[in-house]
Homo-oligomer: A and B are copies of this chain.
Amino acid sequence: MVKQERALRTRNALLTAAGEVFSREGYRAASLTVISGNVGVSSGALHFHFPTKLDLAAAVEEAAAARLRSIVEHCERHEGPGGSVQLVIDASYQVVERLAQDPVLRAGFELGETMERAGGTGKVCDLWQRWVVSLLRHAQEAGGLRPDVVPDHLASVVVAMTAGLAALGRRDAHWPSRATLTSFWLLMLPQVTAAETPPTCVVHGHDSAAEEL
């Protein structure tokens, strides 16, 4: 049992180290020796957990997808009066904040962009888009969007905005910021919403998010 716990801890440490190196260097340039060295384990230990580099990258993507799902579920549990549009806003703030802090989530977004040739599926970004599309379609059915807004088009804009903050954040950490996201939502919302209680840029349940996620 103690042995299993230690193995799990090593696995998680390897995922975090891999997230940092993939995010900084890119998938192709990332060195497995650097990743195992940063955790203080042997190459053999790395290969025990992840037989190939592609297995490691797939595990980082899966871990990032799990974190995204946890953000989404957290927002759904704290749903405010703004309905589905508010959920998308809340989650977008969480995603952008976590992108700035969490190398695994950041790598997940980036691996999706660059790993296709290596067999990757772009899981994290696709997951994010599917969730935003589904919520915005629901918002339109519930009368929460103006009738002329096409939910899938709005979802593409939201996903492109998130991806842009993630990409610019690699070069300059000020980019994945609440301020730019707030400018975006403040400009978009009046054209988007038809709700009686309009969505806001105050993130519901935000204070407790750090502990729960």
**What is A's interface to B at a CB cutoff of 8 Å?**
24-26, 28-29, 112-114, 116-117, 122, 125, 149-150, 153-154, 156-157, 159-168, 170-172, 175, 179-180, 183-184, 186-188, 190-192
Contact = CB atoms under 8 A, between A and B. Distances in A.
22 contacts: A26-B26, A26-B28, A26-B29, A28-B28, A28-B29, A113-B168, A113-B170, A116-B171, A125-B168, A150-B183, A154-B183, A154-B187, A157-B180, A159-B164, A159-B168, A160-B161, A160-B168, A163-B167, A164-B166, A187-B188, A188-B188, A190-B190
Q: Which of A160, A161, A168 has the most CB of B within 10 A?
A: A160
A193 to B, nearest CB: 11
Given A160-B161, A163-B164, A191-B191, 19 more contacts: A26-B28, A26-B114, A112-B171, A116-B171, A122-B171, A122-B172, A149-B187, A154-B183, A157-B183, A157-B187, A159-B168, A160-B175, A161-B164, A164-B164, A164-B166, A164-B167, A166-B167, A187-B187, A187-B192
A111 to B, nearest CB: 10
Q: Helix, strand, loop or mixed for chain A's interface?
A: helix
A32 to B, nearest CB: 14
A153 B183 contact: yes
Nearest to A156: B180
A183 B154 CA distance: 7
Contacts of A29: 26, 28-29
